[in-house]
Every structure is written in structure tokens, then in C-alpha cells.
Chains A and B, each alone.
Chain A
Amino acid sequence: MNSLIIIGLGVIMIAAAIFTIYQKSIVSAIISAGVISLLASVIYLILGSPDVAMTEASIGSALTTVVFLYALNRMRKEKKDDK
């Protein structure tokens, strides 16, 4: 049963990764990158390491997203200032 769950989550992760590459809008790419790290931490949990899963969830899914959005916001502001 565990291996079936891992296969399902892996298919979803691969689909989200391909979507991240071919997406034009940057915000949508950030969202689907968040989905990848979210499901990766569930797979770490199934493989039996809750500490790695906790770190992956808090860093890959929250901190990376917020840092990406902060950088994107700074870029948008600078572009507005140039005009």
C-alpha cells in the first residue's frame, strides 16, 4: 500500500515539475514548485524520516516561496521606478 501511495505522489510530482518548466507566468511556476516540495516531504515521511519531512515542509514550501515572492516584488518595483 505504501508503494502505491509513493507511485501516485511521484506521478503528481513529475507532472508538476514539467508544468513548472513550461509555464510562462512566473507566479504560477512558483506555486507549482511549492507543490513539488510539499509532496516530496510526504514521500520522505512514508520512507520513515519525519525530521527531514518537517524541514522540507517548512523550508521548501514556506521560506522558498516567500523569498521568491519578495524578490519578484522588488523586481516589479524597480521596473516601475525606471519608467
Chain B
Amino acid sequence: MVSLIYQISAGLIILSLLLTLFRLFKGPTVADRIVALDAMTIISISLIVLIAHIAQRIIYLDVAIVYGLVSFIGVVAFARYLERGL
């Protein structure tokens, strides 16, 4: 029962990645695509935490911490480029 709930969570996460990918393709402006990239990174953090729980290895959580910092750097670089140039 518990493993079924985790499988449903993994399915929901893959589905939401597909929805954000739709916005990434369709988005009329560049800012829409940046928002989609940011949401995709945050969703991937949850997927990494779930994978760490399934494999029962603590070291996988370090990758999630790196993701949290990397998404911030990327979004700030894109936003500065959009506003006035890097």
C-alpha cells in the first residue's frame, strides 16, 4: 500500500513535468519559458528526494541541495539578461 502511494506520487511528478514542458514549448514570450524552467527544476528536486528514498541512500540528497542553488543562479542570470544585459 505504501509503495503504491509512492508510485502514484512518481506518476504525478512525471505528469507535471510533461505539463511544464508544454508551457516551455508554447510560451509566447521568453519570460514564460524561464518560469517553466524554474518550475521544472523545483519539480526535479522532489523527484530526486523520492529516488533517494526508494534507493535508501543518503548521498543522493546532496544532488538535490546542488539543484536548489543551481536553479537560483540560472534564473537570476536569465532575468538580468532580459532586463538590461549581463
A residues at B contact (CB < 8 Å): 1-2, 4-5, 8-9, 12, 15-16, 19, 25, 27-28, 31-32, 34-35, 38-39, 41-42, 45-46, 48, 50, 53-54, 57-58, 61-62, 65-66, 69-70, 72-73, 76-77
Q: Which of chain A's residues have a CB closer than 8 A to the CB of B77?
A: 65-66, 69
- Chain B nearest Cβ from A20, distance in angstroms: 11
Q: How many residues of B contact A (CB 8 A)?
A: 36
Contact A57 B14 (CB under 8 A): no
Q: How far is the CA of A43 from the CA of B60 in the complex (A)?
A: 12
Dominant secondary structure at the A interface? helix
12 contacting pairs across A/B (C-beta < 8 A): A8-B18, A9-B14, A12-B18, A19-B24, A27-B81, A28-B33, A31-B34, A31-B37, A50-B60, A57-B63, A62-B70, A65-B77
Residues on A with C-beta less than 8 A from B70 are: 57-58, 61-62
Chain A: CB-nearest residue to B22: A15
A46 to B24, CA, bound (A): 24
Tell me the bound Cα distance from A69 to B80 in angstroms.
Answer: 10
* Chain A residue contacts of B62, Cβ below 8 A: 50, 54
Are A42 and B47 in touch, CB under 8 angstroms? yes
Q: Complex: how many Å from CA A9 to CA B13?
A: 11
Please name all residues of chain B whose beta carbon is closer than 8 Å to the beta carbon of A31 when the two chains form the complex. 24, 30, 33-34, 36-37, 78
